[in-house]
């Protein structure tokens, strides 16, 4: 049983379009993360979200990216104007504050054409 679910499982979009990727935690947690994995590459940290605020972001997470928790439950990653190089798997993870373990969702495969 996944700790978090993600929708959609696969998103195809044209370059320049906006996309919203969604993460739904199974239960109420405070720590969330977004990571991405370009095909054949490492899993890379994008942003962390604690108590409804960004706590840290990587160099990858530029002005084209944003995160929200609009309804206190769903957790979204928005890419405003997609580029070809944004094609990747995007993973949401929830964190355990006491043990630092992170549990990943199944991912959204984003294809930018």
- One residue of 15, 17, 38, 55 binding other proteins per CB under 8 A: 55
- One residue of 56, 80, 81, 113 binding other proteins per CB under 8 A: 56
109 binds other proteins (CB under 8 A): yes
Concatenate the DSSP letters of all residues of 18-60 into one string. Answer: -EEEEEEESS--SEEEEEEE-TTS-EEEEEEEETTEEEEE-TT
Name every residue whose Cβ is closer than 8 Å to that of residue 7 and which is 6 or more positions away in sequence: 21, 22, 24, 108
- The total number of residues shown for the chain amounts to 113
Sole window of 12-20, 63-71, 76-84, 91-99 interacting with other proteins (rule: CB under 8 A): 91-99
Name every residue whose Cβ is closer than 8 Å to that of residue 42 and which is 6 or more positions away in sequence: none
- One residue of 15, 26, 30, 43 binding other proteins per CB under 8 A: 43
Contacts to other proteins by CB under 8 A: 2, 31, 33, 35, 41-45, 48, 50, 55-56, 58, 89, 91, 95, 99-107, 109
């Amino acid at each position: 049983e996944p700790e978090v679910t993600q929708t959609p499982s696969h998103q195809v979009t044209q370059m320049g379009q906006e996309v919203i990727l969604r993460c739904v935690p199974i239960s109420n947690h405070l720590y969330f993360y977004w990571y991405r994995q370009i095909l054949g590459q490492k899993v890379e940290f994008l942003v962390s979200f604690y108590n409804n605020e960004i706590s840290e972001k990587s160099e990858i997470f530029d002005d084209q990216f944003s995160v929200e928790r609009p309804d206190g439950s769903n957790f979204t990653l928005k890419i405003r104007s997609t580029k070809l190089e944004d094609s990747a798997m995007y993973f949401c993870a929830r964190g355990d504050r006491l043990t630092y373990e992170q549990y990943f969702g199944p991912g959204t495969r984003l294809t930018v054409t």
